[in-house]
Structure 1
Amino acid sequence: MSLLQVKEVNHSYHSKKIFSWRNQSNKALTDISFSIEEGTCLGLLGTSGAGKSTLGKVILGIQQPQEGQVLFQGVDIYRADKHTQQKIRRDLQVVFQDSYSSVNPRMTAERIISEPLENYEKLTRVEQRRRVIELLERVGLSENDLKKYPHQFSGGQLQRISIARAIALKPKLIVLDESVSSLDMVTQSFILELLSELKDDFGLSYLFITHDIKAAFSISDHIGVLEKGELIELYDSKDQFFSSKHPIVARMRDSILAEHPRFRSLTTRTNMV
């Protein structure tokens, strides 16, 4: 049984235009189906407006789809009882793009990471503090950072704290929603390497939502391409992606800049404009 199964999910947003009596329906997701196995990472590629954020919300239980199912460990997350939903919330965590807005600015790093532990674990203060220190060290920070507030960290450091919070309960699946896109290249590489190590060490599974092809291939076992709310392709390897003849995928490939400017073709530069 797959860890996560998304089955024929459809979702639309309705809006009413000024000077119009009819509601306008904007299709956000159309017949989305895929699965994620334990210990694997599915990279979900898509440009802005492709439906990535909506799909992330559907999987996290934030936005109920109008049609279809989301099964986590075989359980429909929108039909589960309260006890089961609580267990699902423990095993299904998320790391968002904006690390500053995803934490309470009035909470120290210790309190931010302790929050899920307080909700789900029965630890003494000493045990909890020890666990938080272990988590900080695991993401490349230290005990000296316990009492610092979010504004005292860089974006990369704060994202590491968000990751520490996400792995605190040893979840089964983490949704990474553009979690490295706002970071500089050096910090991004560090975070991606950290995520890969944590995946192996804890047997984690990831849904890595991104528009960055290089980032996706650095961590993903499989790649999906989302365009205008449709999952147009699924690939089991990098070679399959780069040999695909789908026009959307071809445009994505053309948008990848070479590492050094001298190797960037005129065609690539033109496609990036």
Structure 2
Amino acid sequence: MSLLQVKAVTHSYNSHTFLKWKEPSKKVLTDISLSIDEGTCLGLLGTSGAGKSTLGKVILGLERPQQGQVLFQGHDIYTADKLTRQKIRRDLQVVFQDSYSAVNPRMTAESIIGEPLENYEKLTVAEQKRTVIELLERVGLSEKDLKKYPHQFSGGQLQRINIARAISLKPLLIVLDESVSSLDMVNQTLILELLSELKKDFGLSYLFITHDIKVAYSISDTLGVLEKGELIEHYNSKDLFFSSEHPVVEQMRSSILAEHPRFRSLPMRSNRS
């Protein structure tokens, strides 16, 4: 059984004019079905407005869909009993794009990372501090960062704080919503390497939401393509993305043809022939 199953999810937003007249609802997700197995990463590709973040919210339990189901370890996250929902909240974590908005600016790194531990674990003060230090070190920071506030970190460092918080409860699945898109190329690479290491070491599963094909390809095991609220392609192997004949995928792929090794022209070979 898959760790996560999304079954025929459809969702719309109602809108109102300034006169409060109800306009026709805007469908943002249409009959979405996908799954994520334990220890794997599904990269969800799509342009701005494709519905990626809305689907992420639906999976996290933040936006109840009008139709369909979201099953986590076989439990419907919207109809499960209270104890099951509490366990799901522990095992399903998120890292957002904006590392600064995701934290309380008045909290230290120690408090930010320790908050989930306070909610779910019964640790002594010393045990919790030791655990937070271990988490800091695991994401490439150190004990000297414990008492720092968000404004004292760079964007890449603060995203490491958010990742440390996300893994603090040893979850099964982490939703990463454009989690490296606001970082420069160097920090993108470092964070992706960290995420890959954590995935391997802790047996994590990821839903990696992004518009960046190269980033998705570097970390994902499987790929899905969302376009105008519809899952137009879902590949069990990420390499199948490069052989798809779907016109939307071909258009997306054309933006990286000059850079991807599989599509580079080889003039030296042609000269030899």
What's the TM-score once normalised by structure 1's chain length? 0.93
- Cα distance, 1:38–1:238 mapped onto 2, change above 3 Å: closer
- Residue 262 (structure 2) pairs with residue 242 (structure 1): no
Query: How much identity, in percent, do the aligned residues show?
Result: 81
Q: Report the equivalent of 2:79.
A: 79
Counterpart-to-counterpart distance in 2, 1:15 and 1:108: 39
Counterpart-to-counterpart distance in 2, 1:89 and 1:200: 22
More displaced 10-residue stretch of structure 1: 13-22 or 170-179:
13-22
Counterpart-to-counterpart distance in 2, 1:165 and 1:89: 13
Following superposition, the deviation at residue 257 of structure 1 comes to 6.6
> Does the CA contact (< 8 Å) of 1:4 and 1:72 recur in 2?
yes
Q: For residues 48-87 of structure 1, what are the structure 2 equivalents within 5 Å? A: 48-87=48-87
Provide, for residues 43-88 of structure 1, a one-character-per-residue CA deviation record: whole Å limited to 9, x for no partner.
Answer: 0000000000110100000000000000000000000111111110
Which amino acid is the alignment partner of residue 222 of structure 2?
Answer: H
Which amino acid is the alignment partner of residue 37 of structure 1?
Answer: D
Following superposition, the deviation at residue 191 of structure 1 comes to 0.2
Provide, for residues 151-181 of structure 1, a one-character-per-residue CA deviation record: whole Å limited to 9, x for no partner.
Answer: 0000000000000000000000000000000
- Residue 233 (structure 2) pairs with residue 218 (structure 1): no
List structure 1 runs of 4+ shifted beyond 6 angstroms. Answer: none
Q: Report the equivalent of 1:206.
A: 206
Q: Report the equivalent of 1:193.
A: 193
Counterpart-to-counterpart distance in 1, 2:90 and 2:22: 42
Q: Report the equivalent of 2:44.
A: 44
Following superposition, the deviation at residue 25 of structure 1 comes to 1.3
Structure 1: which 5+ runs fail to align?
A: 266-273
Counterpart-to-counterpart distance in 2, 1:148 and 1:162: 14
More displaced 10-residue stretch of structure 1: 194-203 or 231-240:
231-240
Following superposition, the deviation at residue 20 of structure 1 comes to 9.2
The total of aligned residue pairs comes to: 263
> Does the CA contact (< 8 Å) of 1:17 and 1:24 recur in 2?
no
Counterpart-to-counterpart distance in 2, 1:101 and 1:21: 33
Following superposition, the deviation at residue 258 of structure 1 comes to 4.1
Counterpart-to-counterpart distance in 2, 1:28 and 1:251: 22
Following superposition, the deviation at residue 240 of structure 1 comes to 1.0
Counterpart-to-counterpart distance in 1, 2:216 and 2:43: 5
Q: Report the equivalent of 1:109.
A: 109
C-alpha root-mean-square deviation of aligned residues, in Å?
A: 1.7
> Does the CA contact (< 8 Å) of 2:220 and 2:238 recur in 1?
no
Q: Report the equivalent of 1:132.
A: 132
- Cα distance, 1:257–1:250 mapped onto 2, change above 3 Å: closer
Structure 2: which 5+ runs fail to align?
A: 266-273
> Does the CA contact (< 8 Å) of 2:14 and 2:22 recur in 1?
no
Counterpart-to-counterpart distance in 2, 1:202 and 1:20: 50
Q: Report the equivalent of 1:269.
A: none
